Structure 1
């Protein structure tokens, strides 16, 4: 079944009005990156196609990319409120709102996105109702571990002092602040603008997204280690899901599994990882591989983030030690522990 990407304006309205009557549910999926971003052809579209096949064409999904239905930080609320039936959400864009989930944003936990996706899904599915009860949790989609990319060399934590940095999410913003840097937090679609116009000196991003976003001309120096992840979620409006007959709910449930999170994330992870080799092969880019002592210095600098997370998780009403250990156990089960 072909996948439809919705265009803005009159064309979009024409496509909606021409939807096949045989489709019992024509769902709107909103995301905030361009339709050419690898997550759409490598993750979202195969997932949609599989749902269409499994439902015998009774579930159709139209994609609204590039913030067409709303700004990137608003995608959770858009999904909750039914502006989108399915939302591709970065919880880290809303500081403090999802304190339990923010554990995955702390550096030095997951070292890959393939096993990491399955581990993250298994861990969070059991506790998602604690802080995301007004949507249906479906897919976990971490990117390949990202790192610092900068206009000046960053080798050790002290090098961040005095720099303005675009962090990936609220946890990295807190980390940058703890190192003496100034976080300038904007969603990924706006990242190139802030570094190109001189507002920031460095950015935390996965490798190939530097090329995808055109930031490769702005950052010459790269810290060569799997530093942190950001993990998007595919969430479903509860009313949409609950309005389906039992057999179609089963189709959706079968596409909201740890195995599907792994499958959904694999193509993007491989694409992101490819950017590192491009930089190795490009004499304009300089990668710095930290020594064991320097890695330990970074780990020591990030350690207070775990303690702060445990305080926040306890305030959210969960046992932080048990929840933390369950995440570590899941990463170890899937060979994705740093």
Structure 2
């Protein structure tokens, strides 16, 4: 082979190798495009992936969600999207571990701390329940709150039981139904349609930033604030297994270095900042905050204890040291606040 032919062959090989190494990830975001997750957190994460892989792996956010909120995991499994974020309350028939962060009166008011604690608990206690995708991170958002859409605040079990309430699917629905209230349960993205039309007279599970994001603050009169976190939502971030297999082991490690705990922290910190800003808008919106009567909080905590007992039982069946995981999760929060 002549020198000229050899150089041409080498150039062709280098070109083919470079082309093969490029991988693009379609990262879906089911929140509105203006939501800070779609506008800030996920784009910044994509930039980090491109940086740590030196451009060998790139990402793209579609202008609108390619699937409904309950279908994020299914969309990634089918390859409709390469990566996505899923509310764990919608897949509790598939995964058990991350529900530890959704148990009533288990969390705190610090989303960043809860997100770090959940990921550490996952690494220490949870088996790989996401057996059809590759898990990239898990995080927890600001605690959901209890709101009244009437001039009468909710500050007793009796008042709560008399209401028709919108709730997130999962633990909150179970508690509210047990107490005898009427329930309309949908993903958060559908909350506006229910709340704005007056189908319900109260709602539980959204935080302050969600009131703004889903444009329901205008229909809300009072917020009953508990000392503990009545409810927190946890989410999982994952990628299609085939897409993950396209990426070299070195780049997989690099991606995990900016995912896992690092991505969990960014989600949580973003929620803390957005929630604080939204709470500052309460006064202008005419929304009043009242402190929960201690007897009401104690009764609600007692009424929801069956959920913790049920989670421990189901987690044990899934091969998880449930009490150990719960104790560890809460100890991580205690260590953060001390």
1:266 aligns with 269
1:70, distance to aligned residue in structure 2 (A): 1.2
Query: Residue 312 of structure 2 is aligned with which of 310, 313, 319?
Result: 310
Please show how residues 128-167 of structure 1 align to structure 2 within 5 Å. 128-152=126-150, 153-167=153-167
Partner deviation per Cα, 1:150-176 (whole Å, 9 max, x = no partner): 213211233221322222231111111
Q: What is the alpha-carbon distance in structure 1 between the residues aligned to residue 314 and residue 252 of structure 2?
A: 34
Q: CA deviation at 1:128?
A: 4.6
**Selected match of 2:324 from 316, 322, 329:** 322
Return the offset for 1:306. 0.9
Give the match for residue 49 of structure 1.
Answer: 47
Match of 1:99 in 2: 96
- The CA deviation string for residues 273-296 of structure 1, in whole angstroms up to 9 with x for no partner, is 3222211x2362121111433332
Structure 1 position 115, deviation (Å): 0.8
Q: Is the 8 A contact 1:116 1:142 kept in 2?
A: yes
- Cα distance in 2 for residues equivalent to 1:250 and 1:334: 27
Contact 2:125 2:321 in 1 (8 A): no
Residues 143, 230 of structure 1: 8 Å contact kept? yes
Matches within 5 A, 1:282-321: 282=284, 284-321=286-323
SS of match in other structure, 1:96:
coil
Aligned residue in 2 for 1:125: 123
Aligned length: 315
Quick one: distance in 2 between partners of 1:71 and 1:128? 27
Q: Which runs of 5+ in 1 are unaligned?
A: 1-19
Residues 47-126 of structure 1 aligned to structure 2 (within 5 Å): 47-64=45-62, 66-67=64-65, 69-111=66-108, 112-126=110-124
Give me the whole-angstrom Cα distance separating, in 2, the residues matched to 1:165 and 1:194. 10
Structure 2: segments with no counterpart, 5+ residues:
1-17
Once residues 309 and 328 of structure 1 are traced to their aligned partners in structure 2, the CA distance between those partners, rounded to angstroms, is: 15
Q: Is the 8 A contact 2:113 2:268 kept in 1?
A: no
Is the alpha carbon distance of 1:181 and 1:53 closer, same or farther for their aligned partners in structure 2, counting shifts above 3 Å? Answer: same
Q: 1:334 aligns with which of 298, 316, 336?
A: 336
TM superposition shift of 1:92: 0.6
> Over the residues paired in the alignment, what is the CA RMSD in angstroms?
2.2
User: More displaced, 142-151 or 287-296?
Assistant: 287-296
Task: Please name the residue that 2:188 is paired with.
Answer: 188
- C-alpha distance in structure 2 between counterparts of 1:201 and 1:85, whole Å: 39
- The 1:283/1:131 distance shift into structure 2, 3 A limit, reads closer
SS of the residue corresponding to residue 304 of structure 2 reads helix
**1:183 CA displacement:** 2.5
C-alpha contact 1:80 1:237 (8 A) present in aligned 2: yes
Determine the structure 2 residue equivalent to 1:12: none
Do the aligned partners of 1:32 and 1:65 also contact (CA within 8 Å) in 2? no
Equivalent residues of 1:143, 1:272 under 8 A apart: no
Counterpart CA distance in 2 for 1:297 and 1:59 is 51
Q: TM-score with structure 1 length normalisation?
A: 0.86
Would you say 1:168 and 2:176 are equivalent positions? no
Q: 1:31, 1:89 within 8 Å by CA — same for their partners in 2?
A: no
* Cross-structure match for 2:211: 210
Which deviates more from structure 2 when the two are superposed, residues 201-210 or residues 161-170? 161-170
TM-score, length of structure 2 as denominator length? 0.86
Give the secondary-structure state (helix, strand or coil) at the position aligned to 1:184. strand
Q: Residue 131 of structure 1: SS of its match in structure 2?
A: coil
